[in-house]
Amino acid sequence: MQLPVSFTERMQRLLGLQEYQQFLNALQQTPPVSIRVNKAKATAAAGLAAVPWAAAGRYLPVRPSFTLDPAIHAGAYYVQEASSMFVEQALRQAVNLEQPLQVLDLCGAPGGKSTHLASLISEDSLLVSNEVIRSRASILAENVAKWGSGNVLVTSNDPRDFGRLPDFFDVMVVDAPCSGEGMFRKDPQAVQEWSEENVKLCAQRQQRILMDVWDALKPGGLLVYSTCTWNEQENEENVAWLSEQEGVESIRLELQPEWGVVPTQLGGVEGYRFYPHRVQGEGFFMAVVRKAGEEAAISHGKSKKKKYKLTPAGKKEKALVENWLLEPEHYTFLQYGEVITALPAYLFEAADEVYQHLYVVYAGTELAEVKGKKLKPLQGLALSQQLNKAAFQVAELDLEQALRYLRKEDISLGTNGNDWLLLQYKGLPLGWAKQIGSRVNNYYPKEWRIRMDLPQELPETTVLAS
């Protein structure tokens, strides 16, 4: 690996010559493989080593062909870099996760931190997961739907748009676009694209992002700032700069020595660094600060004078879909165009506020599409953690059938009927098919389909037990 000279000199200064050699050796090693289990859908297979700072994080001994594992398409786990799971410690140590929260993941795609946050917050909390680039926002929405939490809104907005929601969020996670030094081992292209000028441009952009969204954080609210890079400009200097611009309290997290996380400090602000020779993970930096001031009490009840943008579903439509979810009494059923969506009732007011000011790509749990007098169940329902399987006819698929279904091919079940089928693999729902006589029509979303050819011999790649 040919590293840029100025990068090498800076890392030698940061680490010292002896430790720099250990760092350099680590960059030549095969990157570790880690996943985070969706405990609402599955349990970790016995024998997998734990990511020490993330309760559901696990290391795999080798990298399997994830595409050929139906469990990942079912949202049973997410492939996530282990260092980035450290965000969990910020929330567990600095936030009361039992209370209702309004949380923003500003740079959410492809969905690792968003699905992680969704697993940590309570069911009556709202997560707004944002991605400014529309094509990446679609991927984010897909991964959020697969995770199936039901209390997430996916938006696609520029950071400055969040100024329309002053004092709205209790927690903000800003995993800022960066120069990517921490990804050098996994992505050789990042080495080619690196330059001191790009570092400077990234640092300036990160400052703009922070200032653009700062007003949307409540007084007393928590900001988690992170990058996957090592230089001080994008990390400690940016957080110290924010501290100078705005009133913040630095949050010190408790670390276990065996974790290998390196604490840093600049301008009175604590930071946390991850190096590949010290941790089983890639390069990462994180800092946690609290906004000055005390949070004012906010009512979550509906305002009689307010004009709402969200539209309740009709009584007839609600009656048809409400038994599709477990505990339907906890949900508000909404209709947006032809799509009927379920949202936890407690979140209506906050969700409507988001709809008033931002562009929403995906919301809650998409249940059904209205087709004249008929309803077509949607993929979000099949993957929901609140799906009521008893409301549907269920068909269990073997591995080959499951993968052909995920490729959106025709499959044969050897059955007859005329009804919607919920197809699943090892108890994990994958999506819908419509049986018409002996024919089975595949309704897996076209844009989600597996595009790789199936090998002649299919590997048993499921790493989890449902």
- What is the helix (H) or strand (E) element at residue 72, kind and residue range? helix 70-73
* Helical H segments across 95-235, by residue range: 112-120, 134-147, 188-193, 196-214
Ramachandran class of 43: left when φ > 0, alpha when ψ lies in -120 to 50, beta otherwise = beta
**In the annotation, is 228 catalytic?**
yes
Amino acid at 405: Y
CA dist 34 and 45 (Å) reads: 13
| 451 SS3 class | coil
| φ and ψ of 137, to 5 deg | -65, -35
CA dist 291 and 295 (Å) reads: 10
CA dist 307 and 309 (Å) reads: 7
Amino acid at 50: A
- What is the helix (H) or strand (E) element at residue 169, kind and residue range? strand 169-175
Annotated binding residue 175:
yes
Q: Which residues pair with 175 in a beta bridge?
A: 226
| 352 SS3 class | helix
Q: Which residues pair with 79 in a beta bridge?
A: 35
- What is the helix (H) or strand (E) element at residue 437, kind and residue range? strand 428-437
Whether the CB-CB separation of 196 and 230 falls below 8 Å is answered with no
CA dist 139 and 319 (Å) reads: 31
Q: Which two tokens stand for residue 18?
A: 């002896």
CA dist 31 and 199 (Å) reads: 24
Fill in the DSSP letter of residue 254: P
Kindly give the pairing relationship between strand 284-291 and strand 217-227. antiparallel
CA dist 170 and 407 (Å) reads: 41
Q: Which two tokens stand for residue 239?
A: 């957080």
Exactly one of 107, 178, 202, 228 is catalytic; name it. Answer: 228
- What is the helix (H) or strand (E) element at residue 379, kind and residue range? helix 379-382
Annotated binding residue 131:
yes
Catalytic residues: 228
Q: Which residues are annotated as a binding site?
A: 131, 158, 175
Q: Which residues are annotated as a binding site for S-adenosyl-L-methionine?
A: 131, 158, 175
